Chains A and B, each alone.
Chain A
Amino acid sequence: MSYMHIGKDFTPPCAQGKITGAARYAEDFRREGMVFARLLTSPVPSGMVRDIDVSEALRMDGVVGILTAEDLPAAPRPGVPALSNELTYVGQPILAIAAISEQIAENALERVRMNIERRPFVVDPLDSLVEGGPNAYPEGNVMMRGENGMELRSLKWTRQAVEDFRAGREPAAEFTTEWSYGDLEAGFAESTVIVEEPFVTAGYPHHSLEPRTCMAYWENGRCYFHGSLQSQSAANAPLSRMLGIELDQLVFINETTGGGFGSRIGPYPFMSIAGYLSRKVNRPVQVRITREEEFFIGSARSGMQGWIKVGVKPDGKVAAVDVIIVNDGGSSGSGSGSSSAGAISVSYQPTAMRFRGASVFTNTTPRGAQRGPGQNEMHAILAPVMDKAARQLGMDRVEFRRINAPDHNSLVEANQGPVTSAYMREAIDMGAQMFDWQAKINQPRRNGSKVIGIGVGEGYHAAGNNGFDGIVRIGPDGKVYLHTGVGNLGTYSYAATVRAAAEVLQCSWENCEIVRGNSDLGLPHSSGQGGSNTIFTHTRTNYVAAMDAVAKMKEIAAAELGGSPDDFSIDGTRVFKTATPAEGLTYAEAAQRAIALGGKFSGAEYPEDINDLTKLAVQKIAGTGLVGVAKDNLEKNGTAPGLAIAFAEVELDLDTGKYEIRDYTAVAECGTVVHPKGLSHGMNGGGVWGFGMAGFERHVYDPQNGLPANVGLYQSKPPTFLDVPRAMHTAAVNLPDPQSPFGARGIGEPAMGCAAAAIMSALTDALDGHLFNRTPVTPDMIIEHVAQNTYNNKSLKINTF
């Protein structure tokens, strides 16, 4: 299929601003009279604030106001309150002070007096699970279904169960979540190879480079809010609820977002501070947060402590997988164990599978989605485990993955539902060839203290959703206005997806203008853009909106020129009679007619089934052109999988425990490629994130006092220019998904999982099959292993090495 726009590179309109400094992030907006707020955050991992005395701070020259938890609506508990007197982790915001300068606001923080009543705390989920262990909240440590729905309960395991679990034996214990399919026992019975391992993955902060600064002010009863989210339009409904106002009272402005990686899918509670504080002090308020606060409240990946048992039949087919995952849910209790297990069901297609798990609250930072939450760390752990199985079978590791790879007929995840399509075998073959797998594994491996490891790993994430809305507008000037509620978080998907509308309208890119970044401009409801969803989801919304616009143009033309709408065609500038092309209207004329006609043509009327936000948007633009607007009601049957496979060659120095990634090749299976440069960004960026997961990034908490050790970037260790390969090779299978009008699915998350998995696989390969069962694998672990002090017989822990 050859397209005008789909699959072609282009320069997204925001790129120029990014390289000139003109692009504006929330922190870059100024407003007459703006004041600056700073947060006072918890010094303790668990406790209650008693008696706050802010009088001295308030008396300071230049301090204009203070916001405490009492000024905010009561937050659900346990939850992630914006401000709180109940403290459940170090760094939790207690109050905010606004002053005429940052300097004064910070000085004022030092003048606040308060008493804090300490409570017991815990930073490791197993320390809480073990009988007699402390709970992060007085009432409990897990969410479980009770009489009143989900409620906080105390889940305890015997000492023996915890010990078994740590040591890699199946614990006799209770869980909060379970699912299974197939006959597990039969699966293990037919298996000739059984691998059973414990594992631990570390949680770690997102640390998007832009701290989540907000600025808000009120005018004529409306709140103008500058924020930083992954999606533009997913903000409005929840944020207006948070602020206690109607949908149309919120103007959400978010032209550029400095990264999200899952931490900015929807409005986060912290955002309400700017809104409430500005209302209280009646001035615009900017809340710039520090990097350290970004660590505290910027969300983090949940760590996993687990056990896995894999059974493989003599032909290499994975017959059974049994997995237990205890998540470190931090103070929000959020874990992703079920998604982790679901990922195994996709990538290796076991005939039978069981997952059991619990997400345990700890007194550490709140957790949330982070780039492939669960799936990616699971793949990182899984790759060496599966390598071990392949090795025991005497089967090539790539061949083993090929045999088990998902295809169109595969069933996936807990519910064993269908996929929209899957070309994983094609991806594996393509990658193995690009990487030259055979030659790589047969090369000499040892050179002095250096040893070469070759790895392969896969990534998966559900990559497509449906049911959102699209709007396109053809102006009386003939220009095509592509309205999008998709945010500008760095993937360029806002631009890539509106090109689907341009494609349908067959118009040149120069004749298009993207309308975005400010909800007052009339932007349709959109997804939260989590989890590789945007490309699939919003090529569809743009497609349906553009199809609506085309249908309306044809109707208008038929009414004016006679005949039926079906007799008409479009060419990007005109709608004309297919048989007699001279008879037609320009897009501009059609738009002018639409304005005159009103009704559905001009947006005065709109479909009932669109979201309230989209309705508001259409009301705003009604009468300004021909309005195409529709909800995506296209067929979607099954999971749209984003799949990827990566290959890595590392050169590991046994003396220092350091390694260099000498080659990295990754292939995306994301249906049709919509935007090649965007795809290579996603694949490379995902790769870098994968290297971070495999080698560097982790939470470190002190169990003695609940303090986090790695709040800054230099301690959190995101990979730098010198920690990634000199060049990265990426490609895509580029075969269309039948359930997407342009065949496209997403890839953002799998791009990371495959990289982490390939590195872990390569390290195991370099070390003669040694499994660390741990992410990240750091130089000290490698050194200890080489010195024959293995890490695995030590007790593995999530936050404390």
Chain B
Amino acid sequence: MSVNPRLTRRRFIKGVIYSGAAAMSGAGVYLANAQSRPAAAVERLISINVNGRTRRVDVLPQETLAHTLRYKLELTGTKLGCNRGECGACTVLVDDVTHYACSMLTHSVKQRSVTTIEGLQSADGQLHVVQQAFLDELGPQCGFCTPGQVLATVALLKSNPRPTRDQARDALAGNLCRCGAYDHYLNGVMRASGQLS
């Protein structure tokens, strides 16, 4: 077993280091709120890498990544369908691997890079190939599960650029679609992988 070189030499990190008001970041509305936050809930200023940018943000010890993204970084493309690992609407990529953002702590992604649906388009606004394929196939119905479906597909195609329809089903299985748009999403996957034109 090798030691992860990215890990710091610090013996351990205690999650309750108080960060003063001066260190607050994030949208204005939350700044205002944070100042009157009771002593019980203590946030800590951390840096996380989201969509290629380093974001400094005050985070509670028990705060989920979905909460940080949606309420502190204004990245509302990450949806909360259940907040319990039962639907996949909150799927994001952490180091290119699918994760339920509702079921992981923001404090656990400090050394890793997070990709949300907002991070897929290129700088000039061009759609990611998966997004374009999902658009062409009209993947979504209500769209609430769609960011998760797109990200699950992006992750799949990174590790398996030409999946079979069955492999695609397995890879997207952790993304529930209440509208039942499964067939259209699979068509999207096949199109994105160049197997459907």
B169 touches A103 (CB 8 A): no
Q: Which of A288, A492, A685 is most buried by chain B, counting CB atoms within 10 A of its CB?
A: A685
> Do A33 and B32 form a contact, CB below 8 Å, given A712-B84, A720-B173?
yes
B121: chain A residues within 8 A (beta carbon): 20
B146: chain A residues within 8 A (beta carbon): 18-19
Q: Please report which residues of chain A, range 702-728, place their CB below 8 angstroms from some CB of chain B when the two chains form the complex.
A: 712-714, 718-722, 724, 726-728
Chain B's interface size range is 35 or more
B178 touches A207 (CB 8 A): yes
Chain B interface: which of A9-17, A338-346, A396-404?
Answer: A9-17
Q: Is residue B106 contacting chain A, with contact meaning CB distance below 8 A? A: no
CA distance A107 to B39 in the complex (A): 13
A30 touches B145 (CB 8 A): no
A492: chain B residues within 8 A (beta carbon): 138, 141
B180 touches A103 (CB 8 A): no
B60 touches A21 (CB 8 A): no
B140 contact from A15, A24, A31, A712, Cβ within 8 A = A15
Q: Is residue A510 contacting chain B, with contact meaning CB distance below 8 A? A: no
Q: Is residue A779 contacting chain B, with contact meaning CB distance below 8 A? A: no
B183 touches A728 (CB 8 A): yes
Chain B interface: which of A420-428, A599-607, A686-694?
Answer: A686-694
Q: Is residue B55 contacting chain A, with contact meaning CB distance below 8 A? A: no
> Do A209 and B89 form a contact, CB below 8 Å, given A101-B37, A259-B142?
yes
Residue of A nearest to B165 (CB): A726
Q: Is residue A110 contacting chain B, with contact meaning CB distance below 8 A? A: no
B33 contact from A100, A677, A720, Cβ within 8 A = A100
B81 touches A211 (CB 8 A): yes
Q: Please report which residues of chain B, range 77-123, place their CB below 8 angstroms from some CB of chain A when the two chains form the complex.
A: 77-84, 86-87, 89, 116-118, 120-121
A210 touches B81 (CB 8 A): yes
CA distance A209 to B102 in the complex (A): 14
A31 touches B176 (CB 8 A): no
Residue of A nearest to B35 (CB): A100
Residue of A nearest to B140 (CB): A18
Q: Which of A257, A677, A720 is most buried by chain B, counting CB atoms within 10 A of its CB?
A: A720
CA distance A290 to B81 in the complex (A): 9
Q: Is residue B22 contacting chain A, with contact meaning CB distance below 8 A? A: no
CA distance A31 to B165 in the complex (A): 43
A28 touches B76 (CB 8 A): yes
CB distance from B119 to the nearest CB of A (A): 9
A258 contact from B74, B117, B142, Cβ within 8 A = B142
A104 touches B38 (CB 8 A): yes
Main SS of chain B's interface residues? loop
B186: chain A residues within 8 A (beta carbon): 727
B68: chain A residues within 8 A (beta carbon): none
B184: chain A residues within 8 A (beta carbon): 677, 680-681, 684
B37 contact from A32, A62, A256, Cβ within 8 A = A62
A727 touches B165 (CB 8 A): yes
B28: chain A residues within 8 A (beta carbon): 32
B82: chain A residues within 8 A (beta carbon): 291, 712-713
B39: chain A residues within 8 A (beta carbon): 61
CA distance A62 to B36 in the complex (A): 6
CA distance A553 to B145 in the complex (A): 44
A211 contact from B76, B80, B135, B183, Cβ within 8 A = B80
CA distance A11 to B70 in the complex (A): 28
CB distance from A485 to the nearest CB of B (A): 18
B144 touches A258 (CB 8 A): yes
CB distance from A295 to the nearest CB of B (A): 11
Residue of B nearest to A692 (CB): B180
Q: Is residue B177 contacting chain A, with contact meaning CB distance below 8 A? A: yes
> Do A21 and B76 form a contact, CB below 8 Å, given A32-B28, A210-B144?
yes
CA distance A107 to B75 in the complex (A): 25
CA distance A720 to B149 in the complex (A): 12
Residue of B nearest to A17 (CB): B143
A20 touches B131 (CB 8 A): yes
CA distance A97 to B166 in the complex (A): 47
B131 touches A713 (CB 8 A): no
B50: chain A residues within 8 A (beta carbon): none
B38 touches A209 (CB 8 A): no
CA distance A210 to B141 in the complex (A): 12
A714 touches B86 (CB 8 A): yes
Q: Is residue B16 contacting chain A, with contact meaning CB distance below 8 A? A: no
A720: chain B residues within 8 A (beta carbon): 173, 176
B179 contact from A102, A685, A714, Cβ within 8 A = A685
Residue of A nearest to B118 (CB): A21
B74 touches A30 (CB 8 A): yes
A685 touches B141 (CB 8 A): yes
A257: chain B residues within 8 A (beta carbon): 142
A686 touches B143 (CB 8 A): no
> Do A681 and B173 form a contact, CB below 8 Å, given A34-B29, A209-B81, A291-B82?
no
B77 touches A22 (CB 8 A): yes
A15 touches B83 (CB 8 A): no
Q: Binary interface profile of B, 7-40, with partner A (CB < 8 Å = 1, else 0)? A: 0000000000000000000011100110011111
A726: chain B residues within 8 A (beta carbon): 165-166, 169
Give 3 closest A-B pairs by Cβ, nearest first.
Answer: A21-B77, A688-B180, A490-B142
**A-B CB contact pairs (8 Å), 18 listed:** A18-B140, A21-B78, A31-B29, A33-B32, A209-B142, A209-B177, A209-B179, A210-B144, A258-B144, A259-B142, A259-B178, A490-B142, A687-B180, A689-B180, A713-B81, A713-B86, A726-B165, A726-B166
Residues on B lying within 8 angstroms of A by beta carbon are 27-29, 32-33, 36-41, 60, 67, 70-71, 74-84, 86-87, 89, 116-118, 120-121, 127, 131, 134-135, 138-147, 150, 165-166, 169-170, 172-173, 175-184, 186
Starting from the known contacts A211-B80, A291-B81, A490-B179, 12 additional A-B residue pairs (CB-CB under 8 Å) come to A19-B150, A60-B38, A209-B79, A210-B142, A288-B80, A290-B83, A681-B184, A684-B181, A685-B141, A688-B177, A721-B172, A721-B175
Residues on A lying within 8 angstroms of B by beta carbon are 9, 11-12, 14-25, 27-28, 30-34, 60-62, 100-104, 107, 207-211, 256-259, 261, 288, 290-291, 489-492, 677-678, 680-681, 684-689, 712-714, 718-722, 724, 726-728
